[in-house]
A = this chain, B = another copy of it.
Amino acid sequence: MPSPNTDSSSPVITREQLLHQWQGHRGLTRRVIDAFPENDLFNYSIGGMRTFAVLAMEFIGMAVPTLQGMINGEWPSTKPDPPTTKADLLKLWDSTTEEIEKLWPTIPPARFQETDTAFGQWKMPIYGLLLYIIDNEIHHRGQGYVYLRALGVEPPPFYDRP
């Protein structure tokens, strides 16, 4: 039985915890990318869906531009060219990871509760936007797990996100 602590100013989650949560998921997605055989990463799919390489590029394309918009209200539309090898995709993944670590502390604290029109299209609270891109990655990564299982490859454990 926990102590009856009822301090209502206690946060649900702090920004450091949310970053850790996000990067934990991104670390798992990196292991899923790496689990794919090179050729299947760029060519395999089920039911007409996108390949996992294309999905990974979607995650990369959303992460830093979203953070930049969160920080200063400008939503860049530039996208990196899609790599053609697993090694290059993982390299781009890792540079995105570093960029997130660098940008995160510069988000103005009150920004999470503000509403903005992201990329001129999606009007929503900033915390909701951030959860959207994390959830989108979890959603499509789940799709990648099915690709791996169908290919006879054991995916990395879902719960393992140090």
What residues of chain A have their CB less than 8 Å away from a CB belonging to chain B?
Answer: 1-2, 4-15, 17-18, 21, 25, 46-49, 72-74, 108-114, 116, 125, 127-128, 131-132, 135-136, 138-143, 145-152, 158-159
Contact = CB atoms under 8 A, between A and B. Distances in A.
Contacts of A48: 149
A55 to B, nearest CB: 10
A76 to B, nearest CB: 14
A83 to B, nearest CB: 23
A132 B17 CA distance: 13
A159 B132 contact: yes
A158 B131 contact: no
Nearest to A1: B73
B128 A5 contact: no
Contacts of A46: 46, 146, 149-150
A12 B127 CA distance: 6
Contacts of A136: 158
A112 B148 CA distance: 35
A5 B114 CA distance: 9
A128 B21 contact: yes
Contacts of A141: 139, 142
B145 A139 contact: yes
Which 10 A-B residue pairings sit nearest by Cβ, starting from the closest? A142-B142, A47-B149, A5-B110, A10-B110, A47-B150, A139-B142, A146-B146, A8-B109, A138-B138, A1-B73
